[in-house]
């Protein structure tokens, strides 16, 4: 059905009636692809939202996609999805009629306030995940999940909108100015490269939204939309802990998995919703694990009694083997390499207090020269479960960006040292220890390493000839397969 022709059919203003029933009341939003109006459905006498496709996108192909996606999205019925009531074409104007949600957008919320409390961010993300899980079950991929498309109703409901036009993004050119404003931040890597996109693209976008809710910033920024979109092809997302250190490690690990550059390693929406529900009651800080979160699905399961008994036997056998192996020089070397067994201090050495020492990161190949300095306090707090961590890199060799990364301990005075111990660390990484009277600006100026170790798995003891100096540096040369290093505690010892 069409309305009575006006003098100017394309004149859109308050008071105009479209499709003979929808009276436009006032403009709600004006985006890059459409305008949204609060309108009145005069037949059913209820408020609705009317989304009108911009005229410059009204070519036959785009219009056909617009209508087709609108009809498909109208089949979705879920409490967290904005309902689509109708589509129409009226004198060259294409529109979608949607449920009106009285409230604000998540975009407005983030722009006008601080990062969200973990519990609130989890609740919003879980509602969105539930909505997208339903869409994915019905074969519909949103493709444009972002805070502007997440509505926060005044009564507390969370609703996802814009299913009707999302597929249009497939035809947009990243280099066309203004076409992806507000969207480039949330594109999955496979969208940037033009590969086929499925529900895992929505997973990535929701991961970016969750990251932004928790930290107040998006993981990737740039001067242009194209630069923002392309950044995720070159570097992994920085860890959430870089911006916020009070989050439960399960929540951090989930965000990390959602932002994995490889679609096959991302969780599905059902897994995301389950994990979010499990972390909701413990969303704030909990000890981080010493190993990087596994990308495989993890679900509670019952362990047969026979396996428990077998486990006790195996553990006992391993303990006996460790005791026997540890009696030989080769065995002690193996235990030291693997980071297992007794880590008690040597009787021939004494601990050097680090409570007055100054700890700094040493990152000479970066712009600011440091990395996660705010986490260094955890290296001497006596708790191996609180960790300092490097950033996540593209490869174990720092993505080719740098030759290494260090932690420098300045004791404040010249001291004779014979041992550096690492405990509570991640696995598979390598490092060297250097000493100097003062911390040089260049790695080469530190001279020759006094000790090397690796691969390190959980713990390591760097033992070397007694050496005098004021500063000690642990220089990481290989991040291991995880492409990051976590360390719980560092300690120094001097000859007795």
Spell out the residues 6+ positions from residue 442 whose beta carbon is closer than 8 angstroms to its own: 364
C-alpha distances in Å from residue 316, one per residue of 251, 303, 322, 330, 342? 34, 19, 10, 22, 16
Q: What is the DSSP string of 272-291?
A: HHHHHHHHGGG-B--PPPSS
- DSSP label at residue 33: S
Looking only at the bridges linking them, the beta strands covering 349-352 and 93-99 are: unpaired
d(CA 307, CA 298): 19
Integer Cα distance of 444 and 448 in angstroms = 8
Q: What are 62's two structure tokens?
A: 């785009």
By the 10 Å C-beta count (0-12 exposed, 13-18 middle, 19+ buried), 413 is classed as: exposed
Using left for φ > 0, alpha for ψ between -120 and 50, and beta otherwise, residue 252 falls in: alpha
Q: Which helix (H) or strand (E) holds 336?
A: helix 329-338
- Count of beta carbons in the 10 Å neighbourhood of residue 169: 18
| Helix then strand then coil, % of the chain, to nearest 5 | 35, 25, 40
- Least Cα distance to 237 among 257, 264, 265 occurs for 257
**Whole-angstrom distance, CA of residue 332 vs CA of residue 322:** 9
Structural Rg of the chain based on CA atoms: 28
**Residues designated as active site:** 144
């Amino acid at each position: 059905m069409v309305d009575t022709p006006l003098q100017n059919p394309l004149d859109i203003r308050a008071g105009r009636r479209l499709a003979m029933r929808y009276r436009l009341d006032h403009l709600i939003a004006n985006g890059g692809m459409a305008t949204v109006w609060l309108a009145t459905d005069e037949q059913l006498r209820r408020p609705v939202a009317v989304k009108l496709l911009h005229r410059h996108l009204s070519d036959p192909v785009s219009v056909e996609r617009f209508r087709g996606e609108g009809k498909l999205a109208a089949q979705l019925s879920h409490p967290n999805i904005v309902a689509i009531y109708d589509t129409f074409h009226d004198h060259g104007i294409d529109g979608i009629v949607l449920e009106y949600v009285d409230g604000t957008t998540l975009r407005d919320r983030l722009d006008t306030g601080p990062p969200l409390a973990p519990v609130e961010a989890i609740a919003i993300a879980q509602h969105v995940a539930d909505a997208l899980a339903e869409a994915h079950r019905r074969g519909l991929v949103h493709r444009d999940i972002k805070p502007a498309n997440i509505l926060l109703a005044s009564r507390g409901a969370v609703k996802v909108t814009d299913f009707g036009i999302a597929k249009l993004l497939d035809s947009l050119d990243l280099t066309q100015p203004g076409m992806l404003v507000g969207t480039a931040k949330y594109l999955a890597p496979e969208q940037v490269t033009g590969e086929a996109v499925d529900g895992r693209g929505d997973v990535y976008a929701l991961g970016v939204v969750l990251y932004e809710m928790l930290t107040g910033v998006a993981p990737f920024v740039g001067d242009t939309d194209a630069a923002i979109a392309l950044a995720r092809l070159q570097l992994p997302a920085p860890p959430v802990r870089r911006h916020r250190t009070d989050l439960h490690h399960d929540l951090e690990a989930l965000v990390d998995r959602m932002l994995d550059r490889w679609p096959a390693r991302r969780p599905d929406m059902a897994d995301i919703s389950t994990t979010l529900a499990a972390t909701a009651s413990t969303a704030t800080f909990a000890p981080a694990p010493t190993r990087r979160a596994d990308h495989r699905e993890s679900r509670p399961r019952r362990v047969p009694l026979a396996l428990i008994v077998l486990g006790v036997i195996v553990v006992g056998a391993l303990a006996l083997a460790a005791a026997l192996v540890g009696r030989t020089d080769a065995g002690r070397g193996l235990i030291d390499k693997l980071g297992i067994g007794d880590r008690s201090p040597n009787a021939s050495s004494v601990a050097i207090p680090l409570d007055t020492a100054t700890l700094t990161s040493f990152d000479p190949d970066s712009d600011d020269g440091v990395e996660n300095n705010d986490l260094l306090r955890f290296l001497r707090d006596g708790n191996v479960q609180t960790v300092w961590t490097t950033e996540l890199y593209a490869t174990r060799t720092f993505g080719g960006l740098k030759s290494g990364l260090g932690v420098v301990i300045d004791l404040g005075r010249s001291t004779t040292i014979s041992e550096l111990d690492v405990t509570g660390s991640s696995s598979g990484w390598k490092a060297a220890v250097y000493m100097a009277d003062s911390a040089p600006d260049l790695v080469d100026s530190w001279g020759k390493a006094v000790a090397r170790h690796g691969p390190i798995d959980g713990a390591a003891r760097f033992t070397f000839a007694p050496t005098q100096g004021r500063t000690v540096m642990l220089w990481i040369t290989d991040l291991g397969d995880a492409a990051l290093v976590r360390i719980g505690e560092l300690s120094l010892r001097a000859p007795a």
